[in-house]
Amino acid sequence: MKLILAGTPAFASAIFAPLIENKTFEILALICQPDKPFGRKGELKSPHTKETFLSQDIQILQPDKITESVIATLQALKPDAILVVAYGKILPKAFLDIAPCINIHASILPLWRGASPLQQMILSQNAYFGITAMKMNEKLDEGDILGISYLPNTRQSITELSLQLASIGAKLAQYVLTHLQKIEPLRQINADASYCTKIKKSDGCVSLESANDVYRHYLAYCEWPHIFIKSTKGYTLKLFDVALIESCNTHKVGEILNIESQSIVIGCKCGSVRIGSLQQEGKAKLNAAIYLRGKRLNVGDILC
């Protein structure tokens, strides 16, 4: 089968890699986002998929827009199918008409259509997480379902969940592509749909009302934007290496319950959490116990 791959981040790389290694598939081209400025110096950084497969004998295309010229280039390759994983832009009908376009979407559709399904699955804390293969149409994640794989919720962080879903997503993609002509598509029930948007930095702001809520947000946002609380003095304080201690007992909001050698325990209105490191806005990240010593805070004081 002749394939075009379209995807940009590490999640896409993990799904594409087994397909590239599988000699059943002939990879005609990889489409990904253009290189973008990164860091304070604004140096150009390549997408993860480009960096991963640059050494392979694969044509790499990085168009700013899917123009008629890009469409013509892809049509000339005569693919049997196009596999799309987190490409990062809405694809026009002319692109979808080149060949059957199969999208691997990180949720159990029709739940969490949109840009941040991994984070929303974690925040929702359903019993199972999953990944869906669908035949793309012009609407947002509304295409007919071709296959679903799932795994149990064991309170994975987004880092862990991304790796697990990419692993089963790669197997799902191979199965669907290999059996594409035999699979009977299943129409999504739009009435059951839910949606998620692009993550903003402000989404990482948490209050210390519920320990469960703090922990869920940490699992979802521990890569970016990280979780943080707002100090009564005006600065923000990022929380790292967070673990749920208990979710039932009542405490003063932000009360320091225990200072350990490598962490601290903080009370919430409902429950408590352990925090390994803290980072005050504009300053270096510190071991949480060292941070408290620098602030002259003791057990019984309020963190922020």
Binding site for (6S)-5,6,7,8-tetrahydrofolate, by residue number, is: 107-110
Instruction: Say how many Å lie between the first and final Cα of the chain, rounded.
Output: 58
DSSP one-letter code for 116: -
Q: How far apart are CA 87 and CA 8, in angstroms?
A: 5
Q: How far apart are CA 205 and CA 83, in angstroms?
A: 35
Name the residue among 197, 205, 244, 234 with its Cα closest to residue 221. 205
How remote is the C-alpha of 187 from its chain's centroid?
Answer: 25
Annotated binding residues: 107-110
Token digits for 131? 């990944």
Give the C-alpha distances (Å, rounded to integers) separating 288 from 188, 251, 256, 261, 279. Answer: 47, 19, 11, 9, 9
Q: How far apart are CA 131 and CA 56, in angstroms?
A: 27
Please state the length of the chain. 304
Report the DSSP pairing between strands 59-61 and 113-114.
Answer: unpaired
Neighbours of 121 (CB within 10 A): 26
Strand partners, 243: 274
Whether residue 264 contacts residue 258, with contact meaning beta carbons closer than 8 Å, is answered with yes
- 225: cis peptide before it, omega within 30°? yes
Give the C-alpha distances (Å, rounded to integers) separating 119 from 48, 74, 267. Answer: 20, 33, 25
For tokens 């941040």, name the residue.
Answer: 116
Strand partners, 4: 29, 82
